[in-house]
Structure 1
Amino acid sequence: MKNTSLTQRPTTPTEPNWQPLNDFAEQKQNDSGLKAWLAVVEGCIRAIEKTAWQGREIADQTVKTWKAMGRGANAVNEEMQILADEMRRWPARLKRLSKTGWMLTKVVASYRLWGTRSAFLPSNMRESALESLHQRNARRFRDTSLEQGGAFLKIGQLLSSRPDLLPQAWVDELAILQDQANPVPFEGIARVLEQEFGQPLDTLFAHVDPEPLAAASIGQVHRARLHDGRDVAVKVQRPGLEEVVELDMTLLKIFMGAVKSALPPMDIDTIVSEIQRTVREELDYEREARVMTQIGEQLAGIPGITTPALVAEHSSRHVLTTEFVHGRKLTTVLDELHHTDPERLGGVLHRLLDAWFSQVLHGGLFHADPHPGNIMLTDDDTLVLLDFGCAQRLSDTARRGYFRVLQACVVDDKQVIADTLATMGFTTRSGNPDTLLAFVSAVLDQVRNAIIYPDPDKGWPSPEEMMQQVSHLLGRLQQDPVDTLPGDFIMLARVFGTLGGFFLHYQPKVDIAALVLGYLTRPLDNQQAA
């Protein structure tokens, strides 16, 4: 900034000194927070423009319909139907886009402007003011996600499961998104069931409870009874969801592109692509049925963890029926055990971590969305995994690579870690592995320390220690960004970030050394990927 001292630039009473104001304007123009806010606004405007241009499709389709009159009544009828469908969809697209885009703009802009606002607040008021800002933004995100559903509800579910990294106000406000959303009226659910199987509802089921057990972003679950007396859970996809999700994916890509400069340097394109891929895969319930069955077979050797049995004859691309499992949400039980039975708490979380090590290292196919709404605990402490729409398959090469990184981390062989990550497709902008090593250190140092310095009474890192480690990692990312990541790693980071959140929040006594060494000393290829 230029020196604005009056001793260096004398002025007279008749000559106003505009330099301080000019300097202030120049500073604000260069301020990264303001630039980021402007980028958000610009991105949302571009998104709205993109949708508005889709209105051109209506005009084009009108012209086609007019021309079709010369080809006869059938051609006109066909083109008119296409035109009617397009006109029906377009206003909903614009309404959805404007509401979601404006919510994101307000959230990001408020945080970008917080630095300026906080400078004018007394120090004793800043903490409460920031807490209010967190709560206000979390409610904005929650309310819009509940109203709009679709892909942004999935993002909210992911955020709600990170109490170790997010402000508590966000975790509290978004917790409802884990297994609650605005339900579809039962008439719409009944219509989907009858269309999928071509039979009346009372022929398909002896009874279906019209009140949903849970309503989520992709579908909602109803309890039902088959004619043979079995109780089942029926997950039905929300009608018309494909169109809603595709619009959300377009908005997400444009929005992330607009705010990319305001985020820590990382492979945003791969992250967005993986989110798009996994959300689209969740629309295919036939795929989910196959994944659920295969992961259930992989976990058969681990006592106390299971998946629901598939009812294939009542399942399709948009309907998934399984046996009904009696149990309670995982975090509800963990909250109770945290105060009453820490030993049992440690046993449950040990089993949970064991299950995902088994899926990743020896199964090659893993459940990639272990938020609390997707895990139940029965009265006999059996963990039941639910909702397999988001899953990731690892190639044998990738599985061996992650296994080798874990081995090398335990013995602190940085060269092997760097070489293995490079072979797997991790690259930094400079080619230097230091940023990658810092990331591995942030993820696996706790595991290595538990093995080398076993101390059952040593607690997990505090939130303050974790934030120091995150700050160090972000500093590394700023100095030398990670330009490319393998797609499967995005899902792995999501899984172990969520599981790590459980351990950091509840601070259980778990013998990590025994668990990890059990996998490191077991031949990796005894069980191949399904």
Structure 2
Amino acid sequence: MSSFNFKEFQDKLSYHFRPWQRSFQFWVRAAEIYAGYKAFQVRVSFVKDVQKQDAMWEIQHELAAEKIYAMCSDLGGFFLKVAQVVGKPDLAPAAWVRRLVTLCDRAPATPYDTVQLVVENELGRSVSEMFETFDPDPLGSASIAQVHRARLRGDKDDVVVKVQHPGVRDLMMTDIRNLQAFALYMQKTDIKKVLLMEYIDGIPILNLGDEIAKRGINPGGKIAATAKQNILKSLTLAYGQMILKSGFFHADPHPGNILICKDYGQVKDLPDNLRLGYARLVLAIADNDPIGAAESYRELGIETLSKCEDEQKEMFKLAQTIFILARTSALLAPSTFKTANKQSLALARDGDGDGSVGS
């Protein structure tokens, strides 16, 4: 009779209960953050001075941001992705954004010896055999992988090697099982552990302020303002081109992915009928046409759950909400917005048909 292996039993038990442990950790730590805010609301209600209230709120947000950062870093996987989404200026307090934005490209990195082991196991050869140089310090590290600069043997051009963090696949699959809506799609996805891509030297948009200061440019001056406007204009035009002309667009535009340009990140393929429907929706909003907007929504497969009598008005309000930032932008006055999107509609209707981008 074989002896009982306690270590094996412990490992199996830990494996089966790990999803519950992570969920339990999340809810305990999230409840602590929530309770901290509720207690703070009571405390700050006794302060009458508005400026003092604002200062207290800033401190509270900073404390909460540290706890959220620690929680998402510890739990990893899906929680790091959530932190990237939450850490956007339009969704969270400034203190949260300042802390969580670092998780876009400065998440906790995997040690180089582990990276080397993953690369060699995946590619079947030693790093020194394949690469003339391989920078042990990552260019960036995010929720799923980290990126290293390298140079292949016999090649003069640099490349980037994207290496998956150990254990991240198990974490992601656990989280996906908890999010049943994504389970079927993700089960069909074959996640590779190493990607080899072209290296392009550039400045991440997160470092734009530092780069402006480094070049001796006044951050509040005309040159910096013009540069920022040109960047926003380029991004706006690029997305108009991708969505309305090419039908192939970058679908994960958090700050860590807007740079010149390590990789494209997530992309989606838009068929012609969706591009035309989207262009008509934008024109209907520009023309203040609720009926046209509602019809465009239906073309896109969107309708209200209750199919209420005021469906057209409700859908038009939703469309206006979605596009309010673009319509109030200093770069896109309403007249410019309308004209540009009429041109985009013509492009989408009369495109080359092969998805190519014209000059």
- TM-score tier, shorter chain, comes to 0.7 to 0.9
Name the counterpart of 2:344. Answer: 519
Quote the Cα distance in structure 2 between the aligned partners of 1:512 and 1:416: 17
| Equivalent residue, structure 2, for 1:329 | 204
Alignment of 1:447-462 (within 5 A): 447=326, 460=329
Aligned-partner residue type, residue 522 of structure 1:
L
Whether 1:442 and 2:325 are equivalent positions in the alignment is: no
RMSD: 3.4
Secondary structure of the corresponding residue to residue 259 of structure 2: strand
Residue 187 of structure 1 aligns to which amino acid in structure 2? D
Normalised TM-score (structure 2): 0.80
* Structural mapping, 1:385-400, within 5 Å: 386-388=263-265, 390-400=266-276
Matching of residue 414 in structure 1 with residue 290 in structure 2: yes
Correspondences of 1:139-178 after superposition (within 5 Å): 139-160=66-87, 162-178=88-104
Q: Structure 2 counterpart of 1:147, which letter?
A: D
Identity %: 26
TM-score (ref. length: structure 1): 0.56
Q: CA deviation at 1:415?
A: 0.4
Contact between 2:61 and 2:93, CA under 8 Å: does it hold in 1? Answer: yes
Query: Quick one: structure 1 residues 82 and 522, their matched pair in 2 at CA, closer, same or farther if it must change by over 3 Å?
Result: farther
Taking a change above 3 Å as real, the CA distance of residues 131 and 395 of structure 1, as seen in their structure-2 partners, is same
Inter-CA distance 363–107: structure 2 relative to 1 (3 Å threshold): farther
What is the deviation of 1:150?
A: 1.0
TM-aligned CA deviation for residue 146 of structure 1: 2.0
Q: What is the match of residue 281 of structure 2?
A: 405
Give the structure 2 partner of residue 354 of structure 1. 237
Whether the aligned pair in 1 keeps the contact of 2:272 and 2:348 (CA below 8 Å) is no
Superposed displacement of residue 101, structure 1: 2.5
Residue-by-residue CA offset, 1:168-204 (whole Å, 9 max, x unaligned): 1111111211201111122222222122222222222
Q: Which has the higher contact order (CA 8 A, sep 6+)?
A: 1
CA distance 1:430–1:132, change in 2 (3 Å): farther
Shift of 1:122: 3.5
Tell me the amino acid that sits aligned with residue 318 of structure 2: F
Q: Distance in 2 between matches of 1:330 and 1:243?
A: 31
Cα shift at 1:227: 0.3
In structure 2, the CA distance between the partners of 1:446 and 1:140, relative to structure 1 (3 Å rule), is closer
Match of 1:425 among 295, 302, 307: 302
SS of the residue corresponding to residue 370 of structure 1 reads: coil
- Distance in 2, Cα, partners of 1:133 & 1:277: 40
Which of 206, 210, 213 is matched with 2:136 structurally?
210
What is residue 339 of structure 1 aligned with on the other side? 220
Please say which of residues 167-176 and 94-103 is displaced more in the overlay: 94-103
Deviation at 1:414, TM superposition (A): 0.8
Partner of 2:28: 102
**Counterpart Cα distance in 1 of 2:235 and 2:61:** 31
SS in 2 for 1:128: helix
How far residue 92 of structure 1 moved from its aligned partner, in angstroms, is 4.5
- CA–CA distance in structure 2, aligned partners of residues 447 and 333 of structure 1: 22
Residues 139, 173 of structure 1: 8 Å contact kept: yes
2:283–2:338: 8 Å Cα contact kept in structure 1? no
Taking the aligned partners of 1:215 and 1:113, their CA distance within structure 2 comes to: 35
CA contact (8 A) 2:22 2:75 kept: yes
CA–CA distance in 1 between the matches of 2:354 and 2:171?
34
The verdict on how the C-alpha distance between 1:92 and 1:211 changes in structure 2, with shifts beyond 3 A counting, is farther
> 1 or 2, which has the higher helix percentage?
1
How far apart, CA to CA, are the structure 2 residues paired with 1:106 and 1:250?
25
Mark the structure with the bigger radius of gyration.
1
8 Å contact 1:327–1:376 — kept in the other structure? yes
Take 1:282 and 1:111, find their aligned partners in 2: how far apart are those partners? 41
1:188 paired residue number: 114
Deviation at 1:96, TM superposition (A): 3.1
Q: Which runs of 5+ in 2 are unaligned?
A: none
Quick one: distance in 1 between partners of 2:283 and 2:159?
43
Alpha-carbon distance, 1:514 to partner = 5.7
- 1:428, 1:436 within 8 Å by CA — same for their partners in 2? no
> Is the aligned partner of 1:136 residue 2:45?
no
1:179–1:214 contact (8 Å) kept in structure 2: yes
Unaligned runs of 5+ in 1: 1-65, 70-79, 254-271, 286-316, 378-383, 450-459, 461-506
Written as runs of structure 1 = structure 2, the 5 A alignment for 1:347-386 is 347-377=230-260, 384=261, 386=263
SS class of match (1:321): strand
**Contact map agreement 1:223 1:233 (CA 8 A) in 2:** yes
Question: 1:128 corresponds to which letter in structure 2?
Answer: A
Once the two structures are superposed, residues 41-61 of structure 1 have per-residue CA deviations (whole angstroms, 9 ceiling, x without a partner) of xxxxxxxxxxxxxxxxxxxxx
